[in-house]
Structure 1
């Protein structure tokens, strides 16, 4: 057991499945590196459209909590106005007025998530895992769900068991239950199942905000 920011965290012994984690990290890095090279022309076009659509930077950086409570800065294409959080941290809502015109399209088809491939290559994230939350929200959820921090036992991901089984429509407690299911049952076959189920979610723009 480890204590992080005054909170206890039971850490999974990842050494129990060394081959799985080696293969997963290798696949993650190769897929993301190749994807960034192949998608480079598209990413350049996205960057231009973002700059033409609204004032502000192309990329959006935000501190998130990752494996074992370690903080990192997640990368995304900016999809909101630069003063989106002038009233304090908040989740995106359906038909959120803070979202730009280009941002609406990028979020709908998850294109805004592509820069997170850099986070994956750095080893901060994985393609598959619980979505990384902000520290402020983790502390908020822990007041009602003491075990919420157990989601930090594996690397956070772009897609995952909770994302394909509810996404934004589920509450934090349901999200925790689904994430813990993945943490207790992770395998190459389960990862493949999640990838296959993620494809229609992206193609048909399901559960986006």
Structure 2
């Protein structure tokens, strides 16, 4: 498949089929267990979201997945309903559009839990480059040729770039880290990312 008329293909990814099958099995098991165990937390947070501000509990947004396929990523709503009335933009530090409960669920990454559904149905993986919006992908690919090479693998709930800077690094740095992951992805690296993610969740580092 093509995105912006640029082929997305890497033989190194094709050579890791066994690993990718194991990874998919792990994704399914983890997503099912994660959704079941987190359901009480999701219920409590959903009530708090509705109590604080009007609007839906969940927030869906178009993102690009494997080989540029579009899908709707699911999050708990952490901003006011009309957050993008003035156009799409990345979240800033201390963003005024973020609600009080939104600040908490962003810091603890609870807002990301519903993406386990995206993982379960195969649109995402637990580990991989964070999915980007089509408009930003197109923009970054013009500014940083090759940015779409992040689309060689399924996007992840967490990833190598996320645990090494996240929002605090530039798109170019993000691309370099994501490609580093794609070139070297293996089970041990995935476990390392999971452990780093757990540490970030408890410290709240890099949240916006």
What interval of TM-score do these two structures reach, taking the shorter chain for normalisation?
over 0.9
> Structure 2: any 5+ residue segments left out of the alignment?
none
**Does residue 76 of structure 2 align to residue 70 of structure 1?**
no
Q: Is the 8 A contact 1:67 1:155 kept in 2?
A: yes
Partners of 1:37 and 1:191 in 2: how far apart?
22
Residue 132 of structure 1 aligns with which residue? 131
* Displacement over 4 Å in runs of 4+: none
**Alpha-carbon shift at residue 151 of structure 1 (Å):** 0.4
Structure 2 distance, partners of 1:56, 1:132, is 24
TM-score, normalization by structure 2 = 0.97
RMSD: 1.0
Q: What SS class does the counterpart of residue 150 from structure 2 fall into?
A: helix
1:100-179 paired onto structure 2 within 5 Å: 100-179=99-178
CA contact (8 A) 1:128 1:191 kept: yes
Q: Give the Å deviation of 1:8.
A: 0.4
Alignment match, 2:8: 10
SS of residue matched to 2:84: coil
Cα distance between partner residues in 1 of 2:201 and 2:112 = 11
Q: Distance in 2 between matches of 1:208 and 1:104?
A: 9
CA offset at residue 158 of structure 1? 1.1
Offset at residue 146 of structure 1 (A): 1.0
Contact 1:12 1:154 survives alignment (8 Å):
no
TM-score by length of 1: 0.96
SS of residue paired to 1:198:
helix
Question: Which residue number corresponds to residue 193 of structure 1?
Answer: 192
2: CA distance, partners of 1:97 / 1:7: 38
Q: How many matched pairs?
A: 207
CA positional deviation for 1:175: 0.4
